[in-house]
Structure 1
Amino acid sequence: MDNDVITYLMNIAFDNKIVINFFDNLDPNTPPGSDVETRRIAMNSRWHNKSEIPFQLAHELGHILSDQQSTKILYFTPYKYGMELEANEYAIDLLLPLYLNDKEKDDVNSHGFMSYFNVPYHLEDVVIREIKKLL
């Protein structure tokens, strides 16, 4: 887990009065979740693929920061539809500035970003669109 990225995301949560708890007693396959109403996120620090945790956290922040209306707890699912797509788009927008920060325009590409943050391949068109907006 990249501590600089996690710190960046935790600061965003703090600034927006979102509580994040990392649990180390969960099964490695238990996904993170968020409760939009209470502005709380539960993260699994034992997740089986630690490199996915920053994107998962950004995704869960996306559920809350995009003011999604839900009366149930939302669990991380990297789908490309509805509320999940909206949370994924928000996550990509949160993480792109970190990726672009020290890169020349010619060095920026969707695959590098997706590999670094372990973004699911089916979101490549979203990543390309968001990179184009910022360049």
Structure 2
Amino acid sequence: MNDLIQYLFDFAFSQDIGYLLVPADEDYSSFANKTKKLIIINTNWKNKAELPFIIGHEIGHLIDGDQGISRYCGTALTSKERHADLYSLNLIFDYATKQYDCYEEPSQFMQAYGIPNRMYNDVVNLFRNNDDLLF
């Protein structure tokens, strides 16, 4: 997980996105601040395995040009949250393929990389569209 997190922070840095790691209460949401081009990540989030996904999600908000402050809520209730989720999924998938990680089932990939269950159908579609990279 540490290598993936470093990969994501390196990617953020390459996009002129800053980051700050904050050990806050486990329910405190990470967020992206478009004005400062900064992501704030709660390192004590209640689901530690989800941290890389959250980092990618917050990067996605800034890459997509979302205005103001966008907080991670763990659901994709709006189109901008869904876009940030998909951005994160694709960043993590890109990392996994560069590592030559192979998974036969979408659920194995999701578990290995802390992808939330709400993304299952998206992971299935990603596997279908990239089956030559996964098997």
TM-score greater than 0.5 by the shorter chain: yes
Q: Which residue of 1 aligns with 2:73?
A: 77
Q: What is the identity, as a one-letter code, of the residue corresponding to 1:97?
A: D
Deviations 1:60-110 (A, max 9, x none): 011111223x23x11112323411110000000000122233245xx4321
Q: Distance in 2 between matches of 1:64 and 1:116?
A: 25
Q: Does 1:114 align with 2:113?
A: no
- Aligned pairs for 1:58-73 within 5 A: 58-68=56-66, 70-71=67-68, 73=69
Contact 2:50 2:116 in 1 (8 A): no
2:88 aligned residue: 91
Structure 1: segments with no counterpart, 5+ residues: none
Residues paired across the two proteins, number:
129
The secondary structure found in structure 2 opposite 1:20 is strand
The CA RMSD measured in Å over matched residues stands at 1.6
1:131 aligns with 2:131: no
- Name the CA distance, whole Å, in 2 between partners of 1:49 and 1:120: 10
- For residues 18-97 of structure 1, what are the structure 2 equivalents within 5 Å? 18-24=17-23, 26-68=24-66, 70-71=67-68, 73-80=69-76, 81-97=78-94
- Note the residue ranges of structure 2 that are not aligned, 5 or more in a row: none
TM-score under structure 2 normalisation? 0.86
Change (3 A) 1:15 1:112: same
* Equivalent position amino acid for 1:94 in 2: L
Task: Report the AA paired with residue 114 of structure 1.
Answer: M
Instruction: State the TM-score, normalizing by the size of structure 1.
Output: 0.86
* Deviation >6 Å, runs of 4+: none
Q: Percent identity?
A: 23
What is the distance in 1 between the residues matched to 2:43 and 2:101? Answer: 30
